[in-house]
Structure 1
Amino acid sequence: MHTDACLVVAFLNTVDFERGDDLLDDPGLWRRWAEDHDLTPNDPAEARAARDSLRAAIGDPRLSVRPLEVPLRFAMTAAGPVLITPDAVTAVLAAATRLTIREDWVRLKICPAGDCLWAFYDESRNRSRTWCSMRVCGNREKARSWRARTATVHN
């Protein structure tokens, strides 16, 4: 997976609905996450607003897209223009922008399993992957669907 996609997916998954954990609820964990990604942590409320808006934009059914205005700056280097990302939110939004420019934004998805809602990057050739994991969520949903169909037939 591309570096930008890894950063965006990691940021989107700072909330875990299956376990009921939100990393942004703990300032120490949020600071550690940002530092682990060589970033400066933002205020958790600012990070949550960005995360929720990004999750909504890729299909989280619980959220609605809200406009975000984050000023971006760039520097001209010998290698060309470089976005200046002074904090975690700006770095994630810059990565999301690069994914959009490369037409890879559509590969960011939310698992439709209601108890999962994990963000993932669809690396399939035709961009048709549905589940975060076919072994876990996909298999579980197919088993539920099969049980529902067979229960209807046997009743």
Structure 2
Amino acid sequence: MSAPDTDHDVDLLLAFLNTRDEEKHTDVLDDVDEWRLWTRSNGIRVPGGPADVRPLRDALREAIACREHAPDLTSGAASDVAVDLRAEVRGGVPVLAPTTAAGVFLAAALRLTILGEWDRFKICPARTCRWAFYDRSRNRSRSWCSMRVCGNREKARAFRERAKT
């Protein structure tokens, strides 16, 4: 079972990765007011607008998709993005201390990477979905964001294709 801080990082990162919705053709980052509302509702209290975080979101999604669909690619296959991120010692403990919204999301991704949880993030392979999800299965083999929706659609489509031949 994961620690509460880990769960918070997972939830925050998923919310960030899914600010773009392929099915509804919407993107929170296309509207500054919508972004401000999103940051408030997700507890982001540091500066950073849509233009500041979009490159990071897109690079993280691309990194996950590249890893999922071409796991043998060397590092650097996804876009490189630089984000300033401070580290501090607080109460005798080293911590990441982001000063921007992009830094908040990158700090969450780094903490999850250090814990070996980053590879649990996946992108649904359904072309109309592309939702980011966190694979909580024991053997990390989950393929779909939802078996009831995307997985079922894909399995039905594959069945119809096989039935044609």
**SS of the residue 1:74 aligns to:** strand
The answer on whether the counterparts of 1:107 and 1:121 sit within 8 Å (CA) in structure 2 is yes
Task: Answer whether contact 1:50 1:89 (CA < 8 A) is retained.
Answer: yes
How far the C-alpha of 1:27 sits from its partner, in A, is 0.4
Structure 2: gaps of 5 or more residues: 70-76
5+ residue gaps in structure 1? none
* Most deviating of 83-92 and 129-138: 83-92
Which secondary structure does the structure 2 equivalent of 1:58 belong to? helix
Contact map agreement 1:31 1:41 (CA 8 A) in 2: no
Percent identity between matched residues is: 51
Q: In the aligned structure 2, how far is the partner of 1:79 from the partner of 1:118?
A: 39
- How many residues in Structure 1 have an aligned counterpart in Structure 2? 150
The AA in structure 2 aligned to 1:34 is: T
* Cα deviation, residue 146, structure 1: 0.3
* Pairing partner for 2:153 from 130, 140, 145: 140
Which residue is 2:39 aligned to? 34
Q: Name the counterpart of 2:29.
A: 24
The residue that corresponds to 2:98 in the other structure is 85
* RMSD of aligned residue pairs (Cα, Å): 1.6
* Contact 1:34–1:41, Cα closer than 8 Å, also in 2: no
Q: CA deviation at 1:41?
A: 4.7
Matched, 1:56 2:62: yes
- 1:93–1:151 Cα change, 3 Å: same
2:143 & 2:47 partners in 1: Cα distance?
31
Judge conservation of contact 2:85–2:99 (CA < 8 Å) in 1.
Answer: no
| CA distance in 1: counterparts of 2:42 and 2:93, whole angstroms | 23
Residue in 2 that maps onto 1:131: 144
The two structures have a TM-score, normalised by structure 2, of: 0.86
* Runs of 4+ more than 3 Å apart: none
